[in-house]
Chains A and B, each alone.
Chain A
């Protein structure tokens, strides 16, 4: 049977994405993150129903962002990685093979982060994620539903921002110039937005409590979130694959933890 990622318990899924996200920070070689990136992409392609076009639309802009960071890493590589021959010189900088490799490693690591994130975001319903945090991790219902209540306002904020922009234009306020102008503009937008938010927070809280919400755990659940063997298998797969990547890297003599070649 094919295991679909959208059906995995959101809390378990978050953990399955977080653990590799944290552990990948250890590696400074090219091999480990490359292998794991290929693994994530395979999982995304085979086990999720994410439309490929949508995925690309999110993924590509971050290539630019990563390229910029990698460029800096290339030029300012620390002593630890300044080994190997000089590849080329630029202005007053010298780029070494060691520097190039670590820059590529970090770029691959970032791509792993992004691919993991997309895997999570694009297969997870936000309401179910919060409900699962409450049911699996005993997050307080007060926080769970408080967060969901606030989250509901997201669409209205976008609309309100647009109205504010128009209203300011009618008053003759154009684009802000200079730092002072920017700060004033930030204030002009944030005060009405926040003032309204505070009133809404109060009203929503009253409405929720008027419907008998107490914030305690003694409630039934319409959506029962469960953790099954399948969820554990998924967690095992995501973390296991990372350890396999580490092991393979070690076996082939690539593994580099914080600049120390491990072999």
Chain B
């Protein structure tokens, strides 16, 4: 496209921003322009200030955080800080990452009304506009629902709807699909595509994993870890010619541009059939509503198994039953040839580890060091052994420099590593992970999978709940598909991808290598 024909909507000149006056600037001397009706992708490693930038663009920062800024951001030629409070927000709308913290009202209707009240829409017009926008996003039936009862994908659509009511010129999407399951991600992206062609929006998209968005993107901006603008250009040129630089900065490369695409895990033909854990005819219900019905499952020693399925299919519940955090209604479970109910609590926790989705929930001490030493102290090891083992783990997980820091103050990736390390004071026989990579960036995901493979090689049986079929494809020996309260598939992942109908029902996607092949096939059929 020829830039000369496009008119600039937002232009940023020598813009720097920092939270504290004395800090290194988080955003450093930025210069770029967003053009009318263009979709621009903003990428960069965690902590490069992408989210802060979006709040600077709509004028909330630096005031909201008492930060300092220099340089100027212009909206259609006028400096953003010259706009009256609330005015610029109507022109630049943002959809944020966390579906649970962008609403202030209980019901869908009231939340949408909140936006309209902010821009002083006359009361008589409100209901019609609410109905209209709900029709547009296909959620009219949910008008009177409480927002907290909706799924993550539905919440993000409501967040989008309430922003669209402002009729903004610019739409900023700050990792809007990072917390959604794969099918909801696709639905959200399709919705954006429809809206953009209907409403003529200028879009700035912030996304770690932009694979599915690529076909909508006109231009890419890359921020470095130091908050400087590293690249500004077209999609192809950036992901192909600058690939190595991006990888060095820990930035995720869309899979279709990867020079060495991932390969699936070969079927393991070893005859090891000794079970580590078995579950027989197990059922569980909550408030008289069945969650799991008649589940049978066997985990072989030393294997890595994935549990997949739609949100709400009962994956986490299954894991909690296995860890004896919930009691089943019916059925028996055996762990290392001993009924699960016969295990003493302390001994069970030593032999079986559980890593929660949010690492912070597992932290119970004041420093990283104590966090790792905690279980060993509890199990009555002598001081010297504890110290040696703790240091070993700290250095193995690259946390040695953070050993006296508060666990909550670590970065996302460090927290994740620490939460795994706390489970490894002794090598456990079984390690359960509840969506360990959900909402994490590429770097953390990669690190974590390496750690898990390594633990598996030491003989630990691993089970994890995930939405990421590429991980299942690359790492797992076995996969269970949960759908409608029961297990609908069990076997090697490579075989699962052949069951199109089942994948559809369980709202699962195929791994990228297969989707790509199908897409290419379709494209050829269309004669492109």
Contact = CB atoms under 8 A, between A and B. Distances in A.
A210 B100 contact: no
Given A152-B103, A156-B100, A174-B345, A213 B58 contact: no
Contacts of A223: 110, 113
Interface stretch (A165-173, A227-235, A237-245): A165-173
Most-contacted residue by chain B among A163, A171, A172 (CB, 10 A): A171
Contacts of B166: 211-212
Contacts of B121: 220
Contacts of A79: none
Interface stretch (A16-24, A99-107, A115-123, A189-197): A189-197
Interface in B376-395: 378-379
Interface in A146-178: 146, 148-149, 152, 155-156, 160, 163-164, 166-174
B103 A204 contact: yes
Given A171-B374, A206-B64, A211-B115, A152 B104 contact: yes
Contacts of B114: 145, 208, 211, 213, 222
Given A168-B364, A195-B360, A204 B422 contact: no
B85 interface: yes
Interface in B330-372: 345-346, 349, 353-354, 356, 358, 360-364
B101 A220 contact: no
Contact of B364 (A126, A149, A188, A211): A188
A222 B117 contact: yes
Nearest to B432: A170
Contacts, number: 152
B505 to A, nearest CB: 27
A208 B64 CA distance: 12
B401 to A, nearest CB: 22
Nearest to B84: A214
A205 interface: yes
Contact of B356 (A167, A173, A174, A210): A167
A156 B107 CA distance: 15
Contacts of A191: 408
B106 A170 contact: no
A221 B127 CA distance: 12
Contacts of B148: 152, 155-156
Nearest to B374: A171
Nearest to A184: B364
25 contacts: A127-B110, A166-B320, A166-B325, A169-B325, A170-B323, A170-B325, A170-B356, A170-B362, A192-B363, A192-B408, A195-B408, A203-B96, A203-B102, A204-B104, A207-B159, A210-B89, A210-B93, A211-B114, A211-B166, A212-B89, A214-B86, A219-B120, A220-B126, A222-B123, A223-B110
Interface of B: 55, 58, 60, 64, 85-87, 89-90, 93-94, 96, 98, 100-107, 110, 113-123, 126, 147-148, 159, 162-163, 166, 320, 323, 325, 345-346, 349, 353-354, 356, 358, 360-364, 374-375, 378-379, 408, 422
Given A167-B362, A209-B89, 20 more contacts: A127-B106, A152-B105, A155-B148, A163-B358, A167-B361, A172-B345, A172-B346, A173-B378, A203-B102, A205-B64, A209-B60, A210-B96, A210-B163, A211-B89, A213-B118, A219-B120, A220-B117, A222-B113, A222-B117, A223-B110
The 4 closest A-B pairs by CB, nearest first: A222-B113, A207-B102, A149-B104, A212-B118
